[in-house]
């Protein structure tokens, strides 16, 4: 059984979509959901699917607490799905090419510190972009910087609000993220 640990800070629609995708899998298991927010909706979603969840507050991320949990679980892949803190460098060093992140735009555009959630979609609308998309990449020590694994574009010429862009991007994320994860696990 290949094990995945999901990290998420908020709603967790991607996390839940991944949990559902692998629900009946005989080769992939969602071993845990980890959040830095005790009231994040993703925790409720994990509980609904009987996936164990753990909360580590922001300060815990500068200790060995999270690393210890990861070492206990021994995941084959760590997936950041809407995780807003900088990922601890001690874990990045120990798990090269085993940590991936999804970003709701076409990196390197609209990436980096502060570029998350609706900020991204607002900036894209303000700049009158005609297309956006998703980027799935390896995590290194910088925000939104590691090697690219997968990108997919979508036209947004019909989108008049950041919410409309967010919806299109979420649809793309839900369609592609689990499949990309499945492919990476097959290759690992």
The catalytic site residues sit at 103
Nearer Cβ to ligand GRF (68/169): 169
Using the minimum distance from each CB to ligand GRF, give the nearer residue, 13 or 152.
13
Query: Which one of the spans 6-14, 70-78, 151-159, 179-187 is the region binding ligand GRF (CB under 6 A)?
Result: 6-14
Residues numbered 168 to 187 that lie near ligand GRF (CB under 6 A) are 169, 173
- Residues 174 and 43: their CA atoms lie apart, in Å, by 18
Residue 80 burial (CB < 10 Å; 0-12/13-18/19+)?
Answer: buried
Can residue 102 be called a binding residue for ligand GRF (CB under 6 A)? yes
Closest contact distance (angstroms) between CB of 4 and ligand GRF is 15
Q: How far is the CB of 68 from ligand GRF (least distance, A)?
A: 25
Asked if residue 11 binds ligand GRF (CB under 6 A), the reply is: yes
Between 98 and 103, name the residue whose CB sits nearer to ligand GRF: 103
- Residue in 106, 173, 108, 119 with CA at minimum distance from that of residue 142: 108
Q: Which of 173, 72, 161, 90 minimizes the C-alpha distance to 125?
A: 161
C-beta separation of 32 from 8 below 8 A: no
Residue in the block written with tokens 């939104």: 144
Task: Assess 12 for contact with ligand GRF (CB under 6 A).
Answer: yes
Rounded to whole angstroms, the Cα distance separating 172 from 164 reads 13
The answer to whether residue 104 forms part of the interface with ligand GRF (CB under 6 A) is: yes
Measure the N-to-C terminal CA separation of the chain; round to a whole number of Å: 12
Q: Of the candidates 2, 45, 98, 103, which one interacts with ligand GRF according to CB under 6 A?
A: 103
CA 92 from centre of chain: 15
Q: What is the distance between the alpha carbons of residues 168 and 120, in angstroms, rounded to a whole number?
A: 13
Under rule CB under 6 A, residue 13 binds ligand GRF: yes
The span of 9-17, 19-27, 45-53, 149-157 binding ligand GRF (CB under 6 A) equals: 9-17
Interaction site with ligand GRF (CB under 6 A): 8, 10-15, 81-82, 102-104, 116-117, 169, 173
């Amino acid at each position: 059984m290949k094990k995945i640990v999901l990290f998420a800070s908020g709603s967790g629609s991607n996390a839940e979509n991944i949990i559902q995708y692998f629900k009946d899998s005989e080769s992939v298991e969602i071993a845990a959901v980890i959040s830095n927010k005790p009231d994040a909706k993703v925790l409720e979603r994990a509980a609904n699917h009987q996936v164990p969840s753990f909360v580590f507050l922001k300060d815990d991320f500068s200790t060995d607490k999270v690393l210890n949990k990861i070492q206990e679980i021994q995941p084959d892949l760590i997936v950041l799905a809407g995780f807003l803190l900088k990922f601890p460098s001690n874990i990045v060093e120990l798990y090269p090419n085993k940590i991936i992140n999804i970003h709701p735009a076409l990196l390197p555009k609209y990436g980096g510190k502060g570029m998350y959630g609706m900020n991204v979609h607002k900036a894209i609308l303000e700049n009158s972009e005609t297309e956006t998309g998703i980027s799935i990449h390896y995590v290194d020590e910088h925000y939104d910087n590691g090697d690219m694994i997968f990108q997919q574009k979508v036209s947004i010429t019909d989108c008049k609000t950041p919410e409309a862009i967010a919806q299109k991007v979420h649809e793309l994320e839900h369609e592609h993220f689990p499949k990309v994860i499945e492919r990476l696990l097959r290759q690992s």
